[in-house]
Amino acid sequence: MKFAVIGAGFYGLHIATRLKALGLEVKVFEKADDILTFASGNNQFRLHLGFHYARNFRTRQQSRDGYFRFLERYGKLTEVIPENYYMVPQGDSLVDFPTYKLIMMSSGLDFVEKELPPEITHPCGSVLTAERVLMIDRARQHFHQHLPDTIHLGEVASVTMADGHVEVNGETFDYCIDCTWGHLIPDDKFFFESTILLYYRKKNQAAPSRAYTFVDGPLCSLYPTENADIFTLSSVPHTPIGQHSTSAEALHTIASLSSHDINLKRLLMEKQLMRYYPTFLDDYEYVDPQLCVKTKPFGHDDDRSCYVKKYGRLIKCLSGKVDNIFYAAAEVMALIEGADE
Ligand SMILES: Cc1cc2nc3c(=O)[nH]c(=O)nc-3n(C[C@H](O)[C@H](O)[C@H](O)COP(=O)(O)OP(=O)(O)OC[C@H]3O[C@@H](n4cnc5c(N)ncnc54)[C@H](O)[C@@H]3O)c2cc1C
């Protein structure tokens, strides 16, 4: 059997790896000039365990399972974060600290309750977690090495369903797996959200290198990256720029964002973090924005779980987090195995 996989983000690359391991013929199409350059290379690089999702059981379960499977198969593409704090700020969080701990414990998530680090001044309940950071450069090297002669740089302009096969750019395949996170073939149950994260460099070398995540609700986080001195600042209310019904509109929005717009976002995001970490700007300096697009399901505020859908010979994967790649691959295999045509 011959497979076309469209999109060389974590989903396309992992699914292609699994299909090749079965001895199947696979061709990955990627429109950018390298792999892992869109959402998979522009996010907060958090290998989630579930602590971010106090209000969504399905997402928490998929994260916990995906985290351990990711460590088993791709552990070298992650790094430990020695002090990874999740904090529940009094008065600001949608859940109180005892409820938060109960939700995590009942989902089988282990943590260590810990006093607040000294730079955090707002009263918060706080736990240390084992969440890790994703190493994107290492991931690029890994997939280039493990998928030789499989990745083809070039845009897919047409996918045509035919009797018993599918045509991608005029070439015949048995199945096509759309791993473009909804950009190629739109889905009326999902919308696009243009986003901004901010990169900061640690300027005070004596300052601690911690990960800080404030939950639950319209809060913010500062998280390490693969570069030891660089961190991302993300904010639930301020990271979204706009909601769009088409990919083209979302991409146009991030491409045309002015430095004035970016500076306004920056002021809001810094102010939000400094409510909890007042000396943040003594320890870190602003570097650059990171602009990207999220694909989100309508109507489920906190749902980042994975959806896999089949339309004849076309299978589509949509997921709000990297750790769901195993769930997606299993669903793809099950849909092919159970196919009745
Ligand atoms: C701001 C932000 C923060 C996030 N933070 C996290 C986080 O901390 N942890 C986490 O796990 N997840 C996070 N996510 C979500 C995560 O980035 C996505 O769930 C994941 O990257 C989706 O992977 P993918 O392979 O489906 O999509 P992508 O990585 O976007 O890959 C799709 C690929 O398809 C290609 N493509 C599109 N159209 C075509 C075409 N016509 N022809 C050929 N190729 C095409 C694109 O160029 C792209 O390379 C975040 C996302 C955003 C935007």
Domain residue spans of the chain: 1-79+135-187+303-341, 82-130+190-297
d(CA 183, CA 162): 22
Q: Which CATH class is domain 82-130+190-297?
A: alpha beta
Sequence-distant (6+) residues with CB within 8 A of 90 are 97, 122, 123, 124, 125
Q: Which residue has the tokens 């003594």?
A: 282
The model's pTM is 0.97
Return the amino acid letter for 182. Answer: G
- With a 6 Å cutoff on the Cβ, whether 46 touches ligand 1 is yes
Could you please report the per-residue DSSP string of 232-250? EEEETTTSEEEEESSHHHH
Sequence-distant (6+) residues with CB within 8 A of 203 are 283, 284, 285
Copy the structure tokens of residue 273: 């973090």
- With a 6 Å cutoff on the Cβ, whether 40 touches ligand 1 is yes
CA of 32 to the centre of ligand 1 (A): 12
Neighbours of 274 (CB within 10 A): 14
CA 196 to ligand 1: nearest atom: 1
Region of residue 161 (left: phi > 0; alpha: psi -120 to 50; beta: else): beta
- With a 6 Å cutoff on the Cβ, whether 190 touches ligand 1 is no
CA of 114 to the centre of ligand 1 (A): 34
- With a 6 Å cutoff on the Cβ, whether 5 touches ligand 1 is no
Sequence-distant (6+) residues with CB within 8 A of 250 are 192, 193, 194, 242, 244, 293
Tell me the CATH number for domain 1-79+135-187+303-341. Answer: 3.50.50.60
- For 298-339, the pLDDT digits (tens) are 886 677 888 999 999 999 999 889 999 999 999 999 999 887
Report, as ranges of residue numbers, the positions in the chain whose pLDDT lies below 50: none
